[in-house]
Amino acid sequence: MAQTKSIYTCQNCGAQSPKWLGRCTSCGGWNTYVEEVVEKKKSTSKISVQLSGNQPLTLENIKAEKNQRFPAGINEFDRVLGGGIVPGSIVLLGGEPGIGKSTLVLQMALGLPNKKILYISGEESLQQIKLRATRLEMKQNNCLFLSETSLEHVIAQTEQTMPDLLVVDSIQTVSTEVIESSPGSVSQVRECTSAILKFAKKNDVAVILIGHINKEGSLAGPKVLEHMVDTVLQFEGDTNYMYRILRANKNRYGSTNELGIFEMRGNGLQEVLNPSEQLISKVSDDVSGTAIAATIEGIRPFLIEIQSLVSSAAYGTPQRSSTGFDLRRLNMLLAVLEKRAGFKLLAKDVFLNIAGGLKINDPATDLAVICSILSSNIDVAVDHKTCFTGEVGLTGEIRGVNRIEQRIAEAAKLGFNKIFIPAVNKGFDASAFNIQIEKVARVEEVFRIIFRK
């Protein structure tokens, strides 16, 4: 006989409690517990011993993967996946609303000619999908579309169609009758994913699940799903800008260091194959306040333009504002500048901007940030054929960076004449690059070289 029981689940992290709690003891969120009814099958009191299940095997007896990956047709997407889609794998694609998840997946689905694809949308009607496809100017292929939110129907349709790839947009809209809580709640999302996962593994169907994240994380975020799925991809960027970055946060079938860069156009997402060329504005010939940083995101080197504007502070408290760069780090760098270059912190407003609306986490950007600020402050342009890489320490020393050869190679490839690198980075052949390499140990040295007149 089935027995019903209610439990309280935190909608933020998925923690459960038999009683309602005002504050989640696990994630600290307030007012996140929601009552959910679970149906429990009456179990027999003893665990019955069965030998009919799977047997343990030695490695040599385990059959190797019979199906090979198939390419998704979009190079940047394949690169992040680690070379293509693995049959039977589950990929979770997360991102803020409006970032372009549905567009990316639809574009991929329509671009795969020889695969059977079932695209389930719980968010958009079939007409809306058709409109989007028209906008993408893609040719029709035999991709099947279904607007559905019931998990039971989704599984039944998938079983009947047996596609190579199943797309579910989004997992938050799918719900099962077994659980009484509303679609999008943690238990619904977890239950639906686990049912889809079981089906996919059994039938070797690759699955792409789209998941929402909202800023407050109050909705059942895909966090709960992260350990269930094989690959977690994150699609990010600033919706006000056109660049989008696809990263892998977890990948059982490839590296998490890869990065895909896209540009949102009027007719869909376009791959950006040479990000450096696009991210450097060609006009900044001899204007002060810009400096080029040779950065690495994941394992991908690119050059990016840092822009600063320093002006006299109009009010008692100077303004500091930064887009795409950590504000606390900016304050730290300004303090270093005050100490080493006589930059009067209290008298200046500082605005910093990373071109293209990208967020940069690489500490090797520091040197370019510092140079661009100083350049704007003294109104002397940095030579536009010079770029920088190096982390700046509190005493003004320039610390070593990783993958220095890749950074130098990228700068040389793009036609830069000179690159400043940390003096501590040794152990590579400088003569192999067609670029002048300037090794510097302290920020004062850099200032002396670039602002010497």
The yes or no reply on residue 266 touching ligand TYD (CB under 6 A) is: yes
Closer to ligand TYD by Cβ: residue 103 or 307:
103
Q: How far is the CB of 221 from Mg ion (least distance, A)?
A: 16
Closer to Mg ion by Cβ: residue 6 or 128:
128
Q: How far is it, in rounded angstroms, from Cα 162 to Cα 150?
A: 18
Q: Is 98 annotated as a binding residue?
A: yes
Residue in 135, 198, 252, 426 binding ligand TYD, rule: CB under 6 A:
135
**Rg for the chain (alpha carbons), in Å?**
26
Within 8 A by CB and 6+ apart from 344, the residues are: 338
Closer to Mg ion by Cβ: residue 207 or 371:
207
The yes or no reply on residue 102 touching ligand TYD (CB under 6 A) is: yes
Within 204-356, where are the H helices? 275-279, 327-341
DSSP code of residue 69: P
The yes or no reply on residue 132 touching ligand TYD (CB under 6 A) is: yes
The yes or no reply on residue 127 touching ligand TYD (CB under 6 A) is: no
Q: Is 415 annotated as a binding residue?
A: no
The yes or no reply on residue 100 touching ligand TYD (CB under 6 A) is: yes
| CA neighbor of 33 nearest in space, from 172, 185, 192, 224 | 185
SS3 144: strand
Q: How far is the CB of 129 from Mg ion (least distance, A)?
A: 10
Closer to Mg ion by Cβ: residue 96 or 383:
96
The yes or no reply on residue 99 touching ligand TYD (CB under 6 A) is: yes
Q: Is 260 annotated as a binding residue?
A: no
Closer to ligand TYD by Cβ: residue 169 or 410:
169
Over the window 56 to 95, marking each residue x when it contacts ligand TYD by CB under 6 A and - when it does not, the resulting string is: ---------------------------------------x
Triad 222, 225, 226: Cα angle to 5°: 90
Within 8 A by CB and 6+ apart from 217, the residues are: 12, 29, 223
Residue 57, Cα to own-chain centre: how many angstroms?
A: 37
The yes or no reply on residue 98 touching ligand TYD (CB under 6 A) is: yes
Triad 434, 440, 442: Cα angle to 5°: 160
Q: How far is the CB of 238 from ligand TYD (least distance, A)?
A: 12
Within 89-208, where are the H helices? 101-111, 126-135, 151-161, 186-203
- Find the binding residues for ligand TYD in span 205-264 (CB under 6 A): 264
- Only segment of 95-103, 149-157, 251-259, 396-404 that touches Mg ion (CB under 5 A): 95-103
Q: Is 122 annotated as a binding residue?
A: no
Residue in 267, 274, 319, 361 binding ligand TYD, rule: CB under 6 A:
267
The yes or no reply on residue 102 touching Mg ion (CB under 5 A) is: yes
| CA neighbor of 352 nearest in space, from 384, 378, 383, 329 | 329
The yes or no reply on residue 107 touching Mg ion (CB under 5 A) is: no
Question: Residues 218, 212: contact at Cβ < 8 Å?
Answer: no
Within 8 A by CB and 6+ apart from 90, the residues are: 193, 196, 197, 200, 206, 207, 209, 228, 229, 230, 231
Within 8 A by CB and 6+ apart from 429, the residues are: none
Binding site members for ATP: 95-102
Which residues of this chain interact with ligand TYD, rule CB under 6 A? 95, 97-103, 132, 135-136, 264, 266-268
Query: Where on the chain is the footprint of Mg ion (CB under 5 A)?
Result: 102
Q: Which residues are annotated as a binding site?
A: 95-102
